[in-house]
Amino acid sequence: MNNLIIKDASQVVTCSGFAGKRGEEMSDLHIIENGTVVVTDGRITHVLRQSEPIPVNESEYQIIHAEGKAVLPGFVDSHTHFVFGGYREEEFSWRMRGDSYMEIMQRGGGIINTTKATRAASEEELFDLGMQRLDAMMKLGITTVEGKSGYGLDRETELKQLRVMRRLQQTHPMDIVATYLGAHAVPPEWKGKEDDFIDFQILEMLPHVAKEKLAECADVFCEKNVFTVEQSRRYLNAAKEQGFRLKIHADEMTSLGGAELAAELRCLSADHLLQVSDHGIRALVDAGVVATLLPLTAFSLREPYARARTMIDAGCIVALATDFNPGSSFSASVPLLFALACIYMQLSPEEAVTAFTINGAAAIGRANWIGSIDVGKQGDLILLQFPSYKFLPYHVGMNIVDTVIKQGKQIVKN
């Protein structure tokens, strides 16, 4: 039964809207105090005030009494790399000793290290690991997750990662948006032949992935000593021609102009942006590209946080995501994400909630379908143990998600 009534929640934090919210709009969560939400056949059919009668036959619905609890849309994690083999705990200790992420990558560690392990892992192993990781994210209130390939960097393994995500989408209650990240790093066999590697992506991989409908989005790591702006432009343009929606790892360690490229190509999102220039921020605002910020990565790498305040004040659409991956952010900790966003990046709790719901949905092109509590949207909801969303950053590092609902079905009771 996908019919559900959540009655008398202390707050229904609707985040109402059908597109990404920019600048000041991010502060208004469109809250209904003491509200009720009705989900019929998996879709939200009514969002009611206390005084309004419930216009359905309640005997056909599961009822959750939510006094003292806040209801929010399920969280949307729009940037992760959750399908991978192996771990990189050695590299973590090298970083604590002072080595930088890019130095370790230059020495053949980093993404290439995980690529070796992912090539060696069977599809079954990756599937089992994917299930475990999705279960953990789901308990933290995430109901839709984007997942990238990019740890194969060869035909077979990239397709293996994407097939695993397709099977997980069919098996796991969470929704998965697959992104093809064939241009994540240059594998050893293509070292020194970066342009040829991009040609291989354009001529063979992108058309194949598009034909098999294995991914919705395409992404590239545009960074000094990885892929240049010109190589990224070629790759993304070809991806666009194949029907992919575009994302880009932009201006993470160096201010290369990735944000400007994202604006030029009308990407869905530009991600990381630790080093984005003022000009780049302007370009994102003007083009309406979502700026996806990843505080857990800056924290884990001891890099300066992205300039979220400047971006929001300039009128940007800012999203937050975990960047869950085995290297730069081996964490999908939603509680820590909220704490870092508010305490260190100066987002208000309202802005942080917007950034991880409706703006996360916008970053994967689904703002008309998920990310808010609006009539017609998918019934993906979470209940908190506390009466206000303000506890999300305030209860530092603690999971306060009480119940998770996916398409009107309870999938977690913590």
* Contacts to ligand NIG by CB under 6 A: 81, 110-111, 114, 221, 249, 252, 297, 323, 325-328
Choose the one of Fe ion, ligand NIG, none that binds residue 201, judging by a C-beta under 5 to 8 angstroms depending on kind.
Answer: none
* Least CB distance to Fe ion at residue 385 (A): 31
Long-range (24+ apart) CB contacts under 8 A made by 107-113 are 108/188, 110/185, 110/327, 111/150, 111/151, 111/184, 111/185, 111/221, 111/327, 112/185, 112/187, 112/188, 113/86, 113/88, 113/327
Q: Which does 327 bind (CB under 5 to 8 A by kind): Fe ion, ligand NIG, none?
A: ligand NIG
- CA–CA separation, 394 vs 414, rounded Å? 19
Pick 325 or 403: Cβ nearer Fe ion: 325
Taking the complex as a whole, how short is the minimal distance between the CB of residue 321 and ligand NIG, in angstroms?
Answer: 9
Q: Looking at beta carbons only, is 260 or 271 nearer to ligand NIG?
A: 271
Residue 324 touches which of ligand NIG, Fe ion, none (Cβ within 5-8 Å per kind) = none
- To which residue do tokens 């003292």 refer? 68
Please give the full DSSP string across 115-166, using - where no structure is assigned. HHHHHHS-HHHHHHHHHHHHHHHHHTTEEEEEEE--S--SHHHHHHHHHHHH
Write the CB contacts of 125 (distance below 8 Å, at least 6 apart in sequence).
Answer: 85
Q: Give whole-number Cα distances, 129 to 80, 121, 136, 267, in Å.
A: 14, 11, 11, 30
114 binds, among Fe ion, ligand NIG, none (CB under 5 to 8 A by kind): ligand NIG
Find which of ligand NIG, Fe ion, none residue 111 binds, CB within 5 to 8 Å per kind: ligand NIG
Nearer to ligand NIG, 36 or 118 (CB): 118
C-alpha pair distances (Å), 396 with each of 149, 377, 390: 31, 30, 11
Could you tell which of Fe ion, ligand NIG, none binds residue 232, using a CB distance below 5 to 8 A set by kind? none
Least separation in angstroms between residue 81's CB and Fe ion is: 6
Instruction: Compare residues 325 and 333 and give the one whose CB is closer to ligand NIG.
Output: 325
Give 181 or 263: the residue with its C-beta nearer to ligand NIG. Answer: 181
**Contact partner at residue 305 from ligand NIG, Fe ion, none, CB < 5 to 8 Å by partner kind:** none
- CA pseudo-torsion sign 326, 328, 334, 336: positive
- Smallest distance from the beta carbon of 185 to ligand NIG, in angstroms? 8
Dist CA 136 CA 149 (whole Å): 20
- CA atoms of 366 and 261, how far apart (whole Å): 22
Find the shortest distance in angstroms from Cβ 181 to Fe ion: 8
CB of 114 vs ligand NIG, minimal distance in Å: 5
Least distance CB 187 / Fe ion (angstroms): 17
- Residues between 303 and 332 with contacts to Fe ion, criterion CB under 5 A: 323
- The structure tokens listed for 126 are 């990756």
Q: Considering beta carbons, is residue 30 or 119 the nearer one to ligand NIG?
A: 119
Q: Rule CB under 5 A: which residues touch Fe ion?
A: 323
